[in-house]
Structure 1
Amino acid sequence: MQTTISAVSTQTIIISTILLLLFTASIIYFLFVYQQKRFLHNKELAEIREAFNQTLLQSKLEIQEQTLDHIAKELHANFSHLVSLININLAEILTFVPAEARENVSETKSLAKQLMAELKALSASLNTDHIMKIGFIGALENELKRINKTQKYHLVFSKSGNEYRLRPEHEIILYRLCQEVLNNIVKYANASSLIVLLDYTPELFTLSISDNGTGFDVASVEAGIPGKESTGLLNIRKRAKLIDAGIKVESEPGKGTKIIIQIAQTK
């Protein structure tokens, strides 16, 4: 009798242990499944958020391009026309002014002609259709020519490898990115030398823009330290991200800045 009770107790303990283990295993399993679902849910939310940010950025850039197109057309249609009229009027006035004033009128006429050329170049640099037609290289060369006319920089521009076209929308964004970089150099770098290098390989497109200007502390800018923020650098990174371009910024105070942009080529 006692042996029977002992056996029953043993079986009860075993069954209870098994049930407890099964219960524990079930809890662990459900926790694991919950964590997995939570992880997947957070991942989906992050992907949705990233897609939304990309769409928002794309929309902003499209609005910017439309605005720039409108400005370009206004410059070409209205301002260029006005400058042309000024030039014509100055040419007519030139025959009637006294000899001592002709030099000043001629100089003003020459300035008006230069203004016309600058307006045409500026209009072309803002016009998306024109950029897509001449391509990224053509647009970049025109931008560098405009900078070179200031005679403030020793400019070096070179290409290596077999040149090829990027996707049209990528070329537009890449060109705007270069404009942002060059604009920062002209405004803030206080540089005397500017080097732009392009390297084409079947796998990778690489663009580097270097200057010998004042430079800056990259870590401070990246960390967003008050007084060190750079809207220009933030815009550059946003544009690069939109076309899946890798970007590296090398700079030190007093040692200039080098920005490297790379775009992997898919076959």
Structure 2
Amino acid sequence: MDPVVQSILIGTVILTLMGFSVVGFVIYYQRKQFKSQRDLIQLKEAHQKQMLSNSLAVQEVVRRKISNDLHDEIGGLLSATKLSISSLSKQVDASVLERVNHSKQLVTEALSQVRSLSRDLIPRTLEKFGLELAIQEFIQKMEEAASLEFHFSHEDDLKRFHPDLELAAYRIIQELTNNSLKHAEASLIEIDLRVISEKLQIKFTDNGKGFDLASVLSSEKEGLGLGNIFSRLSVIDGEYTFNSNKNSGVEYLISIPQKA
């Protein structure tokens, strides 16, 4: 073979190999960069999720602290005041007895409200007996306090779940109910609890005026309740779908995986 042609062929092969090497390096580098960016995104999402989880945990700690202070400190003082007034009523003249009894009635009402607020902050029924009874207690209180009717259905012998799951589900139902009452002006709420495919399914519907999600979320004030719900669901890997149109109520379907 002509030495010149041989040199050209060798040069061509070398250049081709160098080209393949460069292309291979570029592909490898891009894949590595893509993997790094993907890992960075995943790390950022995990960090945000942990921060959110910590924030919710702190909220519950603060709720418990306030609840205990209300129950033990304020409740104790009001109970002592009630006993003192009761003792005083036996020693006063008839002319002031009515005022003393009225004061006792006010203290009794205040004591009842403090105990109720304490229970609202920390749902002790939830901790002791589980989601089913806690929701029934919440519904009873809401029906007494507002012109609101509930239909609550669930599986027979609904089992206990992980405490984090039960608390998240309870808070979500609270938030949805508050939204239905304050914003949707609903008169009927239906709640259904089922376990489907190893997940707790919550179906929540109301007959309120409905909403447009985009417009609600664009308003910080109006969207805050939904934001709290979405935040809780993201921490526990929950999923949701919903259907709502103006003047046609709303339906949420929430799915929460069970924890070991």
Amino acid at match of 1:237: F
Pair 1:231-2:231 in alignment: no
Pair 1:257-2:238 in alignment: no
Provide Cα deviations, 1:175-211, integer angstroms capped at 9, x if missing partner.
Answer: 2222222222232221111111111235332112221
Between the aligned partners of 1:159 and 1:121, the Cα distance in structure 2 is: 26
Between the aligned partners of 1:209 and 1:115, the Cα distance in structure 2 is: 33
Pair 1:46-2:46 in alignment: no
In the alignment, which of 167, 180, 198 is matched to residue 193 of structure 2? 198
Identity %: 28
Q: 2:163 — aligned with what?
A: 168
Deviation >4 Å, runs of 4+:
85-88, 90-98, 104-115, 226-229
In the alignment, which of 10, 32, 45 is matched to residue 15 of structure 1? 10
Amino acid at match of 1:160: E
Provide Cα deviations, 1:132-153, integer angstroms capped at 9, x if missing partner.
Answer: 2222222222221210112401
Provide Cα deviations, 1:65-109, integer angstroms capped at 9, x if missing partner.
Answer: 1110011112212333344356553796599656xx96x987886
**Could you say if the C-alpha distance between residues 46 and 129 of structure 1 is closer, same or farther in structure 2, counting changes exceeding 3 Å?**
farther
Aligned length: 258
User: How far did residue 17 of structure 1 move?
Assistant: 1.9
TM-score, reference length from structure 2: 0.84
Unaligned runs of 5+ in 1: none
For the residue of structure 2 that corresponds to 1:230, the secondary structure is: helix
Pair 1:84-2:79 in alignment: yes
- Contact 1:158 / 1:196 at 8 angstroms: preserved in 2? yes
Between the aligned partners of 2:176 and 2:134, the Cα distance in structure 1 is: 14
- Contact 1:218 / 1:250 at 8 angstroms: preserved in 2? no
- Bigger radius of gyration: 1
Amino acid at match of 2:186: A
TM-score, reference length from structure 1: 0.82
Provide Cα deviations, 1:44-76, integer angstroms capped at 9, x if missing partner.
Answer: 111211121111111111110111001111221
**Could you say if the C-alpha distance between residues 16 and 243 of structure 1 is closer, same or farther in structure 2, counting changes exceeding 3 Å?**
same
Provide Cα deviations, 1:224-260, integer angstroms capped at 9, x if missing partner.
Answer: 3x57850111110010111111112322222222222
For the residue of structure 2 that corresponds to 1:216, the secondary structure is: coil
- Contact 2:161 / 2:259 at 8 angstroms: preserved in 1? no
Between the aligned partners of 2:206 and 2:230, the Cα distance in structure 1 is: 19
- Contact 1:124 / 1:131 at 8 angstroms: preserved in 2? no
Q: 2:52 — aligned with what?
A: 57
- Contact 2:162 / 2:258 at 8 angstroms: preserved in 1? no
User: How far did residue 156 of structure 1 move?
Assistant: 0.9
User: How far did residue 41 of structure 1 move?
Assistant: 0.7
Unaligned runs of 5+ in 2: none
Between the aligned partners of 2:122 and 2:221, the Cα distance in structure 1 is: 33
User: How far did residue 117 of structure 1 move?
Assistant: 3.7
- Contact 1:199 / 1:207 at 8 angstroms: preserved in 2? yes
**Could you say if the C-alpha distance between residues 194 and 111 of structure 1 is closer, same or farther in structure 2, counting changes exceeding 3 Å?**
farther
For the residue of structure 2 that corresponds to 1:259, the secondary structure is: strand
